Amino acid sequence: MSAESLTANTESAPAAKRGFGNSAAMRMVKYMGLRLLTMMVTITIGVYLTILIANMGGYVDTIMRNEIRDSTTQAILANPQFRNLTPEAKQELIQKKIASEEKRRGLDKPFAIRSVNYLRNALTLNLGRAMYMTSDHGSKEVRLIILERLPATLLLAGTSQLLLFFGSIFIALSLSRKYGSWFDKLTIALSPTSAVPPWFYGIFLILIFAAILKILPFGGLVDVPPPENSFDYGLSVLKHLILPATSVIISAIFLSIYNWRTFFLIFSSEDYVEVAKAKGLPPRDVERRYILRPTLPTIITNFALLVIALWTGFTITETVFVWPGLGITIYRAIGAYDTPVIVGSTIIYAYLLALTVFLLDFVYALVDPRVKVGSESSQ
């Protein structure tokens, strides 16, 4: 923003205050509308691309057709009821069955048209039914498949990521105070450990704590059979949570601390931080009001993106720990070309992301007085 517009802003402040009621509200509504519209366009494009990719540009149709032909042929040939039919009649019956099955699955219409139908269903959150996968309770509803796996994923990803986020910010802040100290150097030296994925640490943790020391379970969500009363159940889940959560934390903590520490170091060399120290403010106040407060927008952004990223879970880590989460489900869906499940989880993620970005705009305006929602677009 130029200096001119800043001064103009200052001078017109009283005038703007008087006319705040209508023009500001109008501007706000206009801005929000525009923002929602552009986001909807982005989501539509993103989801359509996902549909195309998940269907391999229509190639999944071919796979399905072949599968239908195989299974129908097998079924009729193996059925003793039809043993007496002539080969021609059998062939005719097979063709009829295939046609009806393809019609049932919608394969009689070209992919281009169906992809648009998929898009409409996805955007209206009409997630439909899975092709092959079923929920643990036997339902084929994509919604149920996802909802059933969501709590476990949120538990693992939520616990580990929240601990990681707040832990690393807290440690990073104290490290930025002790720049060049022994612990600071150690953290930097250890940051490459984050190149190794969590499941790798998971394997070692399982080996040490489950196989050798035998104090923690190998995997799963709860003991088998699950404890009757809910307190014991919770305790058992907690015990199962320790190793996967620890492996996620170990694999990210040092890099995360290193990141935040550098971030805080940059902001703690701002002139106003120096002045705050010169003013003799207690170190806690300097940190809170002069380092954390001005960097709040960045911290909030990171946090919001982290929260929605929980949705995707950890694919391989969940597999290693036999953790019944979403990551493992999506992984299976991709392997089985179960497009409704893939598209279903993607569309929810897309909506969450868009909503977060939309809300962040307003959060920025709340925490940073320099940000005025809508003023940029109206100029």
CB of 257 to other proteins, least distance (A): 18
| Of 32 and 273, CB closest to other proteins | 273
CB of 261 to other proteins, least distance (A): 13
Among 209, 171, 206, 173, residue whose Cα is nearest residue 190? 171
Distance in angstroms (rounded) separating the CA atoms of residues 218 and 62: 41
Structure tokens at 80: 């003793």
Residues that bind other proteins (CB under 8 A): 6-7, 9-10, 13, 179-180, 270-272, 274-282, 285, 289-290, 293-294, 296, 367-370
| Of 103 and 293, CB closest to other proteins | 293
Helix axes 230-267, 293-309, angle to 10 degrees: 140
Distance in angstroms (rounded) separating the CA atoms of residues 356 and 311: 13
| Of 170 and 272, CB closest to other proteins | 272
Do residues 315 and 91 make contact, with C-beta atoms less than 8 angstroms apart? no
| Of 8 and 238, CB closest to other proteins | 8
| Of 16 and 76, CB closest to other proteins | 16
* Residue 356 vs residues 39, 295, 300: alpha-carbon distances, Å: 11, 19, 11
The 8-class DSSP code of residue 141 comes to B
CB of 276 to other proteins, least distance (A): 7
CB of 165 to other proteins, least distance (A): 22
**Alpha carbon distance, N-terminus to C-terminus of the chain:** 11
The 8-class DSSP code of residue 196 comes to S
CB of 124 to other proteins, least distance (A): 41
Distance in angstroms (rounded) separating the CA atoms of residues 190 and 261: 14
CB of 172 to other proteins, least distance (A): 16
Which residue do the tokens 């704590």 mark? 209
| Of 121 and 174, CB closest to other proteins | 174
* Residue 118 vs residues 55, 99, 334, 344: alpha-carbon distances, Å: 11, 21, 17, 10
Helix axes 326-335, 142-177, angle to 10 degrees: 120
| Of 322 and 373, CB closest to other proteins | 373
| Of 235 and 296, CB closest to other proteins | 296
Grouping H, G, I as helix, E, B as strand and the rest as coil, residue 107 is: coil
CB of 267 to other proteins, least distance (A): 11
CB of 283 to other proteins, least distance (A): 8
Which residue do the tokens 């493992």 mark? 328
